[in-house]
């Protein structure tokens, strides 16, 4: 089962290596990992998507909490959360295909952020399934490049 | 750069107090109560060692940084105080690795300082540069590099706090040489610990404590499974009070030996792969397993799915991540054993548990730890029994790893904590000799004996000259069978006696000892064992006794890897010796 784990960590050098190293050393699998600053200057938030049974994820949570630079750990499973991915994708799109591709982008509430004669770059955000869905519908046109942030998430108030 | 600068600027109300990084290290350590340290010099720690020249520390120079790290580790294990070790950058730091990993696995409080190249050279593959924090991250409880002298004093205080609290462990501080020499006005920096991510839970949860006591009171067939955590928590007395009040049998892990007096009737001695049959049977038939400061290691549990199959599991541990890691725990109690045990004891009732204790007594009668003493060759177990006799069970015993370690655990009966000093988790061969040195430094009055194997001793025997230099009267008992004994045993049992690369040609250890300035004795007849032990114990100098023992003696009983605890091999062999 997929768990979204949110960890508040000290914003210090080496913390990412510390967390990533622990995952590797304990043979936990990371599906995605996103790191960014928070409203507090000296804290960052890591959102880590982990696949595993409850016991494995419980260990992940405890081992994370044990790391000295990790301030707080939450497992969002079973909680009301908003979870989003951001993707930039470059699709092969000659001028004659533009109308149909643009309508797909519209449907997925994407945004065209760059355009050239043969390609367009699109920005899409949303739940992971939506991102996957967009990749699938674009595949027939030819996907040149994908860059994704990995999931970030927050519980609803 | 000198450490003594005259104060130049004065901030209102506060004397300015300018110090170099090296001076800050020395002053902070003094302030933290450190009086002993181990370490080896090198290029980038020269400024620090210059300050150490007239600092008030008992400083021990090992012959190799690994030895120094084991010494600091054993010093910590016997005293309960954090060990301190210093090494230079690159190779010095790399040589600490085995020692740090040993301390990590056995939860030993240790603070290591490593020198590092200048901050502006870091990452440039400078001479003697290694990514020390990167290399040691998984084998330390915490580590960090100090790049600004203003953070130094605080970081050192944090390191000692982290190393010694909660589940203890090694902490490493990497110190670039320019930070050692740069100056800092101490009146302007905060030395207060700032660790928002490091929270400790000492007090056990009241409801869980009640549940624990209820489960014990209700149990007809309880057994305790006590680990090194009880010793780390200094809770041996609290454990004894609990056992006496409720009347419970006690088994111990290798790391737990000494937590409970093995000469008492409630003791089942050690459990696990080479544990006693009576401990292992008790575990397999108990209805309540009370794990205290132990972590369900595979050498203890055997086949984990079949471990204590009838039991409810109560687990008391300060490390929440130890709970339900390998087995599912029914009643977890997170916190310090020293706090929790007395609170449980208060709620316990005495129960005779006649049937259960009778059953255990029968196992003890049927399957005592036993060997065939013979009279032609020296049996390793015999040496340990005689040593136990001669020292009244009061020696601090360190060990190598393998058969020597298991026999020491089986045949030397410990009755107080911090007396059995052995690499349990990592299983570090070569630990015994440097550990004996560290232990003797920590307990100068104690009789310290390294019960070692010939192969283990070979790994670090260079440290003998350290013992000679500091006039430490350590004793080394080599159970010399000319093999890597435990490996040979596995090859005999599981690899069709193909002794692939497990036989070494040893030097004459007694002659080596003499050459190093220690006393060397060699014994090969059983009737000379007592005399040699007596001679050894009377020495003021370090003394090595090379006991040429039976070459193919095995450690029994043995739970083969992957089997359940009750599936012990060797019981028939042991019975035939009766």
Tens digit of each residue's pLDDT (9 = 90 or more) over B137-179: 999 999 999 999 999 999 999 999 999 999 999 999 999 999 9
Is there a single domain that holds both residue A68 and residue A108? no
Label residue B141 exposed, middle or buried (CB < 10 Å: 0-12, 13-18, 19+). buried
**How many percent of chain A have pLDDT more than 90?**
92
Do residue A87 and residue A141 come from a single domain? Answer: yes
> Is residue A127 within 8 Å of residue A85, measured between CB atoms?
yes
Give the separation between CA A77 and CA A151, rounded to whole angstroms: 14
Q: Tell me how crowded residue B24 is: count the other CB atoms within 10 A of its CB.
A: 26
User: Of B114, B112, B131, which is closest to residue B122 (Cα–Cα)?
Assistant: B131
* Averaged pLDDT, B282-288: 98
Q: Where are the domains of chain B?
A: 18-188, 206-366, 380-558+569-576
Q: How many domains is chain A built from?
A: 2
pLDDT of residue B240 exceeding 60, the answer is yes
CATH for A44: 3.30.70.260
* Inter-chain CB proximity A59 and B325 less than 8 Å: yes
Last residue of a domain, one of A10, A42, A75: A75
Q: What is the pLDDT of residue B4?
A: 43
Q: Is the pLDDT of residue B291 over 70?
A: yes
Q: Which of A39, A54, A75 is the last residue of a domain?
A: A75
- Of A40, A75, A110, which residue is a domain's last? A75
The CATH class given to the B18-188 domain equals alpha beta
Q: Which among A13, A21, A69 has CB closest to B197?
A: A69
pLDDT of B6 strictly over 50? no
pLDDT for B14 equals: 56
User: Quick check: B19 pLDDT over 70?
Assistant: yes
pLDDT in tens, A67-121: 999 999 999 999 999 999 999 999 999 999 999 999 999 999 999 999 999 999 9
Q: How far is B137 from chain A (nearest CA, A)?
A: 7
Which of B140, B305, B321, B328 would you mutate first to test chain A, the one with the most A CBs within 10 A?
B321
**What would the CATH number be for the domain defined by B380-558+569-576?**
3.40.50.970
Label residue B1 by pLDDT band (50, 70, 90).
very low
One domain, residues A67 and A85: no
- The mean of the pLDDT values for chain A is 95
Q: How far is CA B549 from the centre of its chain?
A: 26
Check whether residue A7 and residue A67 sit in a common domain. yes
pLDDT at B441: 98
What ipTM is given for this predicted complex?
A: 0.91
Same fold, B18-188 and B380-558+569-576: yes
pLDDT digits (tens, 9 = 90+) for B180-194: 999 999 999 999 999
| Confidence (pLDDT) at A102 | 96
Q: Report the percent of chain B where pLDDT is more than 70.
A: 97
Report, as an integer, the average pLDDT of B98-110: 98
d(CA B321, CA B338): 19
Q: Which of A66, A72, A75 to mutate to test the interface with B (most CBs of B within 10 A)?
A: A66
Which CATH number is A144's domain given? 3.30.70.1150
> Is the same domain home to A6 and A69?
yes
User: Residue B295: its pLDDT value, please?
Assistant: 96
The domain of A49 spans 2-75
Tell whether the model's pLDDT for residue B2 goes beyond 80: no
The model's pLDDT over B304-356, given as tens digits with 9 standing for 90+, comes to 999 999 999 999 999 999 999 999 999 999 999 999 999 999 999 999 999 99
Model pLDDT for residues B479-512, shown as the tens digit of each residue: 999 999 999 999 999 999 999 999 999 999 999 9
User: Quick check: A5 and A47 in contact, CB under 8 A?
Assistant: yes
Order the strands of the B83-87 sheet from edge to edge.
B58-60, B36-39, B83-87, B110-116, B170-176, B142-145
The answer to whether residue B470 scores a pLDDT higher than 50 is yes
pLDDT tens readout for residues A33-64: 999 999 999 999 999 999 999 889 999 999 99
One domain for residues A89 and A132: yes
What part of B 168-227 touches A (C-beta under 8 Å)?
195-198
Instruction: Read off the pLDDT of each residue in B467-471 and give the average, rounded to a whole number.
Output: 98
Selected residues 15-54 of chain A with any CB under 8 Å from a CB in chain B: 17-18, 21-22, 25
Q: Under a CB-based contact definition with an 8 Å cutoff, are residues B454 and B506 in contact? A: yes
Q: In terms of domains, do A59 and A106 share one?
A: no
Q: B158 to chain A: nearest residue by CA?
A: A68
| Interface size between A and B, measured as CB pairs under 8 A | 41
Average pLDDT over all residues of chain B: 96
Consecutive H or E run containing A46: strand A43-51
Same domain membership, residue A45 and residue A92? no
Q: Choose which CATH entry (3.90.480.20, 3.40.190.10, 3.40.50.1220, 3.30.70.20) describes domain B206-366.
A: 3.40.50.1220
In B, minimum Cα distance to A73 occurs at B197
> What is the pLDDT at residue B16?
76
Neighbour count for residue A108 (Cβ, 10 Å): 17
Residues in B touching A66 (Cβ below 8 Å): 319-321
The reported pLDDT for the residue numbered B8 is 45
């Amino acid at each position: 089962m997929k768990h979204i784990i949110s960890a508040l960590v000290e914003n210090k050098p080496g913390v990412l290596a510390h967390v990533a190293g622990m995952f590797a050393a304990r043979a936990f699998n990371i599906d995605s990992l996103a790191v960014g600053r928070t409203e507090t200057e000296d804290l960052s938030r890591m959102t880590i998507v982990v696949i595993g049974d409850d016991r494995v994820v419980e260990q992940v949570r405890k081992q994370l909490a044990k790391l000295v630079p990790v301030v707080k750990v939450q497992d969002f499973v079973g909680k009301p959360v908003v979870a989003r991915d951001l993707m930039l994708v470059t699709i092969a799109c000659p001028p004659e295909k533009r109308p149909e591709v643009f309508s797909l982008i519209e449907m997925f509430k994407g945004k065209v952020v760059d355009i050239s004669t043969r390609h367009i770059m699109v920005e899409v955000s949303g739940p992971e399934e939506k991102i996957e869905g967009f990749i699938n519908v674009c595949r027939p046109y030819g996907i040149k490049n994908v860059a994704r942030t990995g999931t970030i998430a927050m519980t609803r108030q | 750069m000198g450490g003594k600068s005259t104060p130049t600027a004065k901030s209102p109300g506060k004397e300015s107090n300018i110090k170099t990084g090296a001076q800050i290290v020395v002053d902070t350590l003094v302030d933290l109560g450190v009086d002993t340290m181990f370490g080896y010099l090198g290029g980038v720690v020269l400024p620090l060692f210059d300050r150490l020249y007239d600092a008030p520390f008992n400083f021990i120079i090992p012959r190799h940084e690994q030895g120094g790290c084991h010494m600091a580790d054993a010093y910590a294990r016997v005293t309960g105080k954090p060990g301190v070790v210093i090494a230079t950058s690159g190779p010095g730091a790399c040589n600490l690795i085995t020692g740090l990993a040993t301390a990590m696995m056995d939860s030993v409080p240790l603070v290591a300082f490593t020198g590092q190249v200048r901050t502006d050279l870091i990452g440039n593959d400078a001479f003697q540069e290694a990514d020390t924090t990167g290399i040691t991250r998984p084998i330390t409880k915490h580590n960090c590099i100090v790049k600004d002298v203003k953070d130094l004093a605080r970081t050192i205080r944090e390191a000692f706090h982290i190393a010694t609290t909660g589940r203890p462990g090694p902490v490493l501080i990497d110190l670039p040489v320019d930070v050692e020499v740069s100056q800092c006005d101490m009146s302007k920096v905060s030395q207060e610990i700032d660790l928002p991510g490091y929270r400790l839970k000492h007090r056990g949860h009241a409801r869980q404590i009640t549940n624990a006591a209820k489960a014990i009171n209700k149990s007809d067939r309880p057994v305790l499974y006590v680990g090194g955590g009880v010793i780390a928590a200094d809770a041996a007395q609290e454990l004894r009070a609990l056992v006496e009040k409720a009347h419970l049998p006690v088994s111990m892990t290798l790391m737990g030996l000494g937590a409970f007096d093995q000469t008492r009737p409630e003791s089942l001695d050690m459990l696990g792969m080479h544990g006693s049959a009576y401990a292992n049977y008790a575990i397999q038939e108990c209805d309540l397993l009370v794990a205290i400061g132990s972590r369900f290691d595979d050498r203890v549990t055997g086949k984990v799915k079949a471990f204590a199959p009838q039991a409810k599991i109560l687990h008391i541990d300060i490390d929440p991540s130890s709970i339900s890691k390998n087995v599912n725990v029914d009643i977890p109690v997170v916190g310090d054993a020293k706090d929790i045990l007395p609170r449980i004891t208060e709620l316990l009732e005495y129960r005779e548990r006649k049937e259960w204790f009778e059953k255990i007594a029968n196992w003890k009668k049927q399957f005592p730890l036993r060997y065939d003493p013979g009279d032609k060759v020296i049996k390793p177990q015999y040496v340990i029994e005689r040593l136990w006799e001669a020292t009244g069970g009061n020696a601090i015993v360190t060990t190598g790893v393998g058969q020597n370690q298991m026999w020491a655990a089986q045949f030397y009966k410990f009755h107080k904590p911090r007396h059995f000093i052995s690499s349990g988790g990592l299983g570090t061969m070569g630990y015994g000799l440097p550990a004996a040195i560290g232990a003797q430094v920590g307990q100068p009055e104690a009789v310290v004996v390294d019960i070692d194997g010939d192969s283990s001793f070979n790994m670090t025997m260079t440290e003998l000259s350290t013992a000679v230099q500091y006039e430490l009267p350590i004793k080394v008992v080599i159970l010399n069978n000319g093999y890597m004994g435990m490996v040979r045993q596995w090859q005999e049992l599981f690899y069709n006696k193909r002794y692939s690369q497990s036989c070494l040609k040893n030097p004459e250890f007694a002659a080596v000892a003499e050459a190093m300035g220690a006393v060397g004795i060699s014994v090969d007849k059983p009737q000379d064992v007592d005399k040699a032990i007596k001679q050894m114990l009377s020495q003021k100098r370090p003394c090595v006794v090379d006991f040429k023992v039976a070459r193919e003696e095995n450690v029994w009983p043995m739970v083969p890897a992957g089997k359940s605890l009750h599936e012990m091999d060797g019981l028939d062999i042991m019975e035939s010796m009766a």
